[in-house]
Amino acid sequence: MSQQISLFRSQITNRRFDGGTLGILEMLLISKDVRSSIEVRSSLKQFMRTESLCVLREIAHTTLEQKLSVLDFFVKAFALIGDFESCLALRYEALLLRDFKSANHHWLQVNYMEWIKFAEHSLDHGFHSIAEKACTNALASLQKNNTADVKSDESINSREAVRRIEKLKDIAISSTGSSSVQREASGYLKKKAIAKSKRSAEICYEKQRAASSLFRDSIKKRNARKLLERQSLKPTQGLECAQNFENLHRFLLFFGLKNLQGKTKRPRMHNSRGWR
């Protein structure tokens, strides 16, 4: 498997856009392991998308035939890988290129049936706006030819072709409108969900704030109550202290002061001659 992947990558890197390279890709995608097949397709999808952009820039100044050949190769390669978005995008580019150059090269003219098939494939894969443009191009191509092409069993007459194209176009337009409505509805529901989530967060925050505020208020009330209790106790304690001090003072006056006075001798006064 790894050797085949390397071989295919080298073919693309060497710009070998032919049936042989497509054959290698087909063999590479045949796998009994579903998981392995999905991984390989995903890897090749990214690789081919990157390489296709580089190649399209490289062939910008090549001949018209070379451009169409390379576009056809990548259309088939993306179809094999299952990248229908890239496949339809390059198919559309090829059809527009042919339609633009058909004024000078009539062999490049795009038949209305090609536009119809492209419109149907675009609708099947959800590209409604592209399908609408393809229907418009199909009607323009039909008007240029004026008559229906009856070369194959798939060919239809002009009136049936117009009805078929208009029906496809109506489906594409209604699908585009429906998709827009769905996108708007999805966007509205998404915004609503975000708003609801924000509101829930705000409510939760408010609840937390309310709880913390209540807790803080209770603490403040408790501290204020204790302060008031202490303040109510201070005058009583002060009064008791004052009374005790006054009683002690009286005790000293009545019982201690006389003894102190009795033990204390007055100092003798001296005259010019000295102490008596």
Encode pLDDT of 61-100 as tens digits: 999 999 999 999 999 999 999 999 999 999 999 999 999 9
pLDDT, residue 169, reads 92
The pLDDT confidence band at residue 226, using thresholds 50, 70 and 90, is low
Residue 24: other Cβ atoms inside 10 A = 19
Q: Are 25 and 10 in contact (CB under 8 A)?
A: no
Sketch the domain layout of the chain as residue ranges: 1-105
pLDDT, residue 38, reads 87
Q: What's the whole-number average pLDDT of the chain?
A: 76
**Of 187 and 115, more confident:** 115
Residue 222 has pLDDT above 70, yes or no: no
The residue with tokens 């429906």 is 178
**Of 33 and 210, more confident:** 33
Q: What span, in angstroms and rounded, lies between the C-alpha atoms of 212 and 73? A: 70
Q: What is the pTM of this model?
A: 0.60
Residue 13 has pLDDT above 90, yes or no: yes
